[in-house]
Structure 1
Amino acid sequence: MAYRYWCGECGYKTLWLTESDGAKRQIEHYERRHPGIPPGGQVEVNGRTAGGGGGGCLALLALGVLLLLAAASCHR
């Protein structure tokens, strides 16, 4: 997977890198441009903002409900 780190203080963003390389570049950016401020911002994973969605859980929940309904209708 590829990760891109966005600075929480300015418009800087890393290239698409491995998770560890992206985090390292973000830390280096903060040390250079924003000394004394802990690194923050957003992390993009393969073009999607990490931690934002929840669509995968919703799909699993919907599938579970459908299976439960199917099992209940077959039980009668």
Structure 2
Amino acid sequence: MAYRYRCGECGYSTPWTTESDAEDRAVSHYADRHPDIAPGGTVQINRKDANSVGCLPVLGMAVLLLLIVASCQR
């Protein structure tokens, strides 16, 4: 999973990253830009695997299987 924090005071948001890194960036942002305000805002969670290639491997295997079947039809 990937996490992103959005500032509650301005439009800043961290990039998608690990939970601890996003939290560190949000706290750093508040310290730099909003020093008199306690860190807040919202957390977004991306439940999809960022390193996933989706259905591409399955599609590739299906095409390969079709090519094998077509070549055996002679």
TM-score, structure 2 length as denominator?
0.61
Could you tell me how far 1:23 is from its partner in structure 2?
A: 0.2
TM-score, structure 1 length as denominator?
0.60
Aligned to 1:53: none
Larger of the two Rg values belongs to structure: 2
Q: After TM superposition, where is structure 1 displaced by more than 3 Å over at least 4 residues in a row? A: none
User: How many pairs are equivalent?
Assistant: 47
Instruction: Give CA-to-partner distance per residue, 1:22-75, whole Å, 9 cap, x none.
Output: 00000000000000210101100007xxxxxxxxxxxxxxxxxxxxxxxxxxxx
Unpaired segments of 5 or more residues in structure 1? 48-76
Which residue identity does 2:21 align to in structure 1? D
Q: Distance in 2 between matches of 1:39 and 1:32?
A: 11
> Which has more helix, going by share of residues?
1
SS for the counterpart of 2:22 is: helix
Greater RCO (CA < 8 Å, at least 6 residues apart) = 2
